[in-house]
Amino acid sequence: MLTVYDPVNGALIKSDGPAAINDGAVWIDLLNPTKDEDAVVEQALAIAVPTREEMAEIEASSRLYQEGGAHYMTAVVLHQPDAPNEPATSTPITFILAGHRLVTVRYAEPRALKIFLNRVQKKDAACMSGTAVLVGLLEAIIDREADRVERIQGEVDKLSQTIFGVRGGERTRSLRFDVNIRAIGREGELTSRSRESLLTLGRLLTYLGHVMSERGDDKTLKARVKTANRDVQSLADHIGYLSTKITFLLDATLGMINNEQNTIIKIFSVLAVALMPPTLVGTIYGMNFEHMPELKWLFGYPFALGLMVVSAVIPWLYFKRKGWL
C-alpha cells in the first residue's frame, strides 16, 4: 500500500495512491508494496527501492549506504502481532532520505508508527521535512523499546521472586520449576531480539548524524538525534544487564533442580545403607541348616526382629548426627 503524507498547518495529511506524490509531500510510506508501487516511487524520486530480501541482509554496508544522492538506512524493529499471546517478532524497516522527502519501506505495522502519527495529528511533533519525520519516527520507536525494556525488567523481577521463593511439596516445586524455565526462555528470547533492535538503531543514528552534518540540516534536529543515540546506548546497557540476570536466573533454576534430584538420590542411598544390616540379619536367620543355635529357642524370633530394628535405627541416628539427612 502506497501512502503519501503532506504537511499542512503543522500536521500530516494522508493521501493514497501514486497520484498523491507531489513536490510538497514529505513522507511516502510503502507498506507491503507491490512491484508497481515500487516502480512508481522509483520513477517519481529517481531512487531504487530495496526488496524485502535486501532489507533482511545483516551486513552494515547493506543497511547503511548512499546511492544516487539518497541515503538508505535499515533498522530492525520489534513488532507485536495482532494475535493474543504471540511473542514479539523482528521486522526490518528501511528509511530513505531523498532530498526533502522520506520514504519508508516496511512489511509490518509497528505500533510506534501509529503513535507518531497520533502525535503529528495533535501537532506535538515537527513534520515539515522528511528529516524531521524520520527523527520523530525514530524517537517513537525508541520510546516503544524503552517501554519494552521496562516490561522485561518487571517480568525478570517477578521471576526472581518466584524462583527464590519456591515452596510446597515435591510435585509443586517440580511444576513450578518447569513453568519458570519456560518463562525464562521467553524473556531471554525477547531480550535477545530487543538487543538486536537497539544495536541496529544505534548504528542508524550514528550514520544519520553524519548524514545530517553533510546535508546541513537544522541544529535542533541534530541535537535530537544525539539525544536519541544516548538513549539507545543506555537502553542497550540496561538490556545487557537484564540478559546477564536472565542467565543467572536460568543457572539458579537448573541448580535448584539439580539439588532436588541430589536430595532424592541421597535419601535412597541412606535408606539402602540403613536397611543393609537388617537385611543381613534376616538373611542369616533365614538359612535352612539343621544345626542352628537359636533354631529351637523360644525367644529366637522376637530376638531376630529386635536385632533387625536396632541395626536399622543405629545407622539412621548416625546419619542424622553427621547432618547427612
10 Å Cβ neighbour count for 247?
13
Q: How confident is the model at residue 232 (pLDDT cuts 50, 70, 90)?
A: very high
C-alpha cell at 292: 542352628
pLDDT digits (tens, 9 = 90+) for 159-176: 888 877 755 555 555 567
- Domains in the chain: boundaries: 2-259, 262-322
- DSSP per-residue letters across 219-266: HHHHHHHHHHHHHHHHHHHHHHHHHHHHHHHHHHHHHHHHHHHHHHHH
The DSSP annotation for 68-107 comes to TTEEEEEEEEEE--SSTTPPPEEEEEEEEEETTEEEEEES
| Least confident span in 10-19, 64-73, 258-267 | 10-19
Give CA–CA dist 186/177, Å, rounded: 14
Q: Indicate if the pLDDT at residue 233 is higher than 90.
A: yes
pLDDT of residue 18: 67
Sheet containing strand 101-106, strands side by side? 11-16, 2-8, 27-31, 101-106, 89-98, 70-79, 64-67
What integer pLDDT is reported at residue 169 of this predicted model?
A: 53
Q: Alpha-carbon distance 46 to 101, whole Å? A: 12
State which amino acid sits at residue 224: R
Cell 549506504 identifies what position?
A: 65
> Are the CB atoms for 211 and 97 separated by under 8 Å?
yes
pLDDT at 58: 65
Model confidence at 270, pLDDT cuts 50, 70, 90, reads confident
Return the CATH number of the domain spanning residue range 2-259: 3.30.460.20
pLDDT tens per residue, range 274-317: 778 888 888 877 777 777 777 777 777 888 888 888 888 888 88
Q: Give the three-state DSSP class for 297.
A: coil
Q: If you average pLDDT over every residue of the chain, what do you get? A: 82
pTM of the predicted model, to two decimals?
A: 0.77
92 with 125: CB under 8 angstroms? no
CATH number of 262-322, picked from 3.40.710.10, 1.20.58.340, 3.40.50.10680, 1.10.3720.10: 1.20.58.340
**Looking at the predicted structure, is the pLDDT value of residue 100 above 80?**
yes
